[in-house]
Amino acid sequence: MSYKGIIFDLDGVICFTDQYHYQAWKEMADGIGVYFDEVINNRLRGVSRMASLDIILERSEKSYSEKEKEELAAQKNEIYKKLLEQMSPADLSEEVKNTLDELRNRGHKLAIGSSSKNTKMILKQLGLEGYFDAISDGTNITYSKPDPEVFLKAAAFLGLDPSDCLVVEDALAGIDAAVAGGFHGAGIGEAATHEKVTYPLEKFSDLLSVTRGEKDEV
Ligand code: B16
Ligand code: MG
């Protein structure tokens, strides 16, 4: 099918910051004596910062006030941002960059739809500042995935209807969000197993065969 717009999730699709999220949450959790491991970290994929903290605090015997939770989340984010400083354009794979360039050449509008409030910093670190036609991220939404808000805003920023856009996601909650918003979804990794995914992808470059740009239609 032909899509005028393609909306990409960031973490797990364009780049891989899982390890940095893990290290930062781990340092915060160790600081308050709460058990945290990679299995729990997997549950945080695509989930907002505060919802991630709530999942981590399920293991805590102490209950935290909203103010204390804000402080813990801020503490994690400072550690995370320090780790992000290590990222560089070398962390953007050739496959992802070449695929994005080809999709753009074919006439698709490209947008980001990410829960992360650090989206702009990550794109800058990767050398993708100013690359996308629109960015919808954690700074412009009230509700996180699986709510469709982040993708609906991305489509609106592109000036397109959801039915004209494909969402590319790695998280199950991200495909839920896409479906709830009336988008077709392409799933990579765990998201490829979602029963409602339109295109299960084995690799990012498979997007070239499942999408066709407007220029192809003439
Ligand atoms: P931040 P995505 C998500 O990004 C991450 O997958 C998730 O682990 C993180 O908690 C969330 O962003 C919020 O990130 O703390 O940077 O605002 O997959 O939606 O691009
Ligand atoms: Mg993701």
For residue 216, what pLDDT is reported?
45
Determine contact, residues 115/150, Cβ cutoff 8 Å: yes
pLDDT at 214 exceeding the cut of 70: no
For residue 150, what pLDDT is reported?
98
Which pLDDT band, with edges at 50, 70 and 90, does 215 fall under? very low
For residue 218, what pLDDT is reported?
38
The CATH H-level (homologous superfamily) assignment of domain 5-16+89-210 is HAD superfamily/HAD-like (3.40.50.1000)
Measured CA to CA, the distance from residue 47 to residue 25 in angstroms comes to 13
What digits encode the pLDDT tens for the residues 53-108? 999 999 999 999 999 999 999 999 999 999 999 999 999 999 999 999 999 999 99
CA of 47 to the centre of ligand 1 (A): 6
For residue 47, what pLDDT is reported?
87
For residue 46, what pLDDT is reported?
82
Which pLDDT band, with edges at 50, 70 and 90, does 211 fall under? confident
Q: Which of 31-40, 80-89, 100-109, 206-215 has the lowest mean pLDDT?
A: 206-215
Which pLDDT band, with edges at 50, 70 and 90, does 1 fall under? confident
Q: Is 9 in the pocket of ligand 1 (CB under 6 A)?
A: yes
- Residue 28: alpha-carbon gap to chain centroid: 22
Query: Considering the entire predicted model, what is its pTM?
Result: 0.93
* 3-class DSSP state of 121: helix
pLDDT at 18 exceeding the cut of 80: yes
Q: Enter the CATH code of domain 18-84.
A: 1.10.150.240
Q: Is 118 in the pocket of ligand 1 (CB under 6 A)?
A: yes
Measured CA to CA, the distance from residue 81 to residue 103 in angstroms comes to 30
Joined together, the tokens standing for residue 48 give: 């907002």
For residue 217, what pLDDT is reported?
43
Average pLDDT, rounded, for the chain: 95
For ligand 1, mutation pick of 85, 116, 168 (most atoms within 8 Å of CB) = 116
Say whether 9 is catalytic.
Answer: yes
Q: Is 46 in the pocket of ligand 1 (CB under 6 A)?
A: yes
Strand order in the sheet with 134-136: 134-136, 109-113, 5-8, 165-169, 184-188, 199-201
Name the segment(s) of the chain with CATH classification 3.40.50.1000.
Answer: 5-16+89-210
Amino acid type, 168: V
What digits encode the pLDDT tens for the residues 124-144? 999 999 999 999 999 999 999
For residue 102, what pLDDT is reported?
97
Return the percentage of the chain with pLDDT > 90, whole number.
91
pLDDT at 206 exceeding the cut of 60: yes
Name the segment(s) of the chain with CATH classification 1.10.150.240.
Answer: 18-84
Angle between helices 66-84 and 18-31 (to 10 degrees): 140
What digits encode the pLDDT tens for the residues 167-193? 999 999 999 999 999 999 999 999 999
Q: Residue 164 — φ and ψ, nearest 5°?
A: -95, 5
